[in-house]
């Protein structure tokens, strides 16, 4: 690892990610890279009220500041930033944000990396390369300002002992060994697959996949139970927070999910994943899985909703992935259709 503009003196660094859960998980490689370059660095995170829990207990993050959007809380947060002297302030966001700009103005730091065109920043954050670039790789390129070469893009998480124990009890109570984790929930209606297609797919998967263990957000509880009733042997594991999904995903032999943060949690544990995406290259390239083995299934027409993805494509993606992992015999040599991407393709 290059350290041409870096040294071993303790550094106090704050990284900003106020947005979605998945986006925060995807910048965790920044923390591991910074700690690797200088283990004595004090790494802070400024997170939002909706995403901070995803990094609870992360071993590379020393302190988390949470923006609650409440007036008193915001005032106290600004006060903390004004009285804390950082060496580096890093906001990898590509687009302008009023909130990010406000906090950057409050922060005392000699080096401020952020949105190009905002004068509060001393260095512009890197933009996507021509032809598209993964969100994590683009974020990591900002470390070049500090003389740190690109590091592993693998996301990181913290320990979840309570959630691990709850799922271990669930597995023991259901005599569950090998299984497939299935997430049906998405952040937008256009990212959902249909209930009928889930049932058709899961009833036709090879036995080697094991039974389906469903995950979903609370708003989809009734829906997921309806799907589960149509899939013999399947189970639903209720989770109270996003942390509850960690043990389900890290112990699965395969994850099936629509495009959501579950894709990136699977990457943190390097679990093979088949994920469904809207066919918009400028978007899906940024959020492809980072697991070593994956298949990304695209909607058949540019811009079409995930619900248009045919079952036969997902089945082909699963079969191809299982052959690669050795769970099934060798593949028959047939090429995958262009709507299925594999392993950083």
Whether the pLDDT of residue 132 is over 90: the answer is: no
pLDDT of residue 230: 98
Average pLDDT over the chain, rounded to whole? Answer: 93
- CA dist., res. 9 & res. 293, Å (int): 38
Q: Where are the domains of the chain?
A: 12-146, 161-342
Task: Report pLDDT for 345.
Answer: 56
Report which of 94, 24, 35 is spatially closest to residue 64, judged by C-alpha positions: 24
Could you tell me how far CA 322 lies from the centroid of its own chain? 22
Q: 270: phi > 0 → left, psi -120 to 50 → alpha, else beta; which?
A: left
Lowest-confidence range among 52-66, 88-102, 312-326?
88-102
Alpha-carbon span 174 to 214, nearest angstrom:
14
Asked whether 13 and 137 are in contact (CB, 8 A), the reply is no
Q: What angle separates helix 71-83 from helix 98-106, to the nearest 10 degrees? A: 40
- Quote the CA–CA distance of 245 and 149 in Å, as a whole number: 32
pLDDT greater at residue 169 or residue 119: 169
Pairing mode of beta strands 212-215, 123-124: unpaired
The CATH classification of domain 12-146, taken from the options 3.30.930.10, 3.40.50.2000, 3.30.1490.20, 3.50.50.60: 3.40.50.2000
Q: At CA 300, angle to CA 299 and CA 304, rounded to 5?
A: 55
Looking at the chain, the whole-number percentage of residues with pLDDT higher than 90 is: 86
Q: Which CATH number is associated with domain 161-342?
A: 3.40.50.2000
Confidence of residue 10 (pLDDT cuts 50, 70, 90): low
Please give the sequence-ordered ranges of beta strands (E in DSSP) within 203-282, or none if there are none: 212-215, 235-236, 254-258, 273-277
Confidence of residue 267 (pLDDT cuts 50, 70, 90): very high
Same fold, 12-146 and 161-342: yes
Span 133-155, average pLDDT: 91
């Amino acid at each position: 690892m290059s350290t041409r503009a870096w040294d071993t003196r303790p550094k106090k660094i704050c990284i900003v990610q106020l947005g979605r859960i998945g986006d925060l998980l995807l910048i965790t490689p920044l923390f591991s890279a910074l700690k690797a370059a200088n283990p004595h660095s004090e790494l802070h995170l400024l997170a939002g009220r909706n995403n901070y829990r995803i990094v609870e207990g992360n071993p590379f993050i020393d302190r988390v500041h949470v923006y609650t959007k409440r007036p008193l809380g915001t005032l106290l947060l600004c006060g903390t930033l004004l009285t804390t002297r950082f060496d580096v302030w890093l906001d990898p966001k590509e687009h302008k944000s009023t909130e990010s700009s406000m906090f950057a103005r409050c922060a005392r730091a000699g080096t401020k990396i952020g949105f190009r065109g905002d004068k509060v920043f001393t260095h512009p954050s890197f933009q996507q390369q021509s032809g598209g670039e993964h969100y994590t790789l683009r974020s990591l390129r900002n470390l070049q300002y500090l003389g740190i070469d690109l590091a592993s893009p693998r996301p990181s998480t913290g320990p979840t002992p309570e959630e691990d124990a709850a799922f271990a009890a669930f597995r023991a109570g259901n005599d569950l060994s090998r299984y497939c984790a299935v997430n049906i929930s998405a952040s937008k209606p256009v990212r959902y697959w249909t209930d009928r297609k889930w049932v058709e797919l899961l009833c036709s998967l090879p036995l080697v996949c094991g039974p389906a263990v469903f995950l979903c957000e609370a708003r989809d509880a009734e829906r997921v139970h309806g799907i589960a009733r149509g899939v013999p042997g399947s189970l639903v594991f209720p989770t109270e927070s996003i942390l509850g999904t960690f043990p389900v995903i890290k112990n699965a032999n395969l994850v099936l999910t629509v495009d959501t943060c579950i894709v990136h949690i699977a990457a943190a544990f390097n679990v093979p994943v088949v994920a469904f995406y809207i066919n918009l290259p400028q978007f899906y390239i940024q959020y492809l899985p980072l697991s070593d083995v994956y298949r990304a299934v695209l909607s058949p027409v540019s811009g079409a909703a995930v619900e248009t993805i045919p079952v036969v494509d997902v089945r082909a993606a699963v079969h191809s992935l299982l052959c690669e992992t050795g769970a099934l015999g060798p593949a028959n040599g047939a090429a995958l259709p262009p709507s299925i991407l594999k392993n950083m393709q």
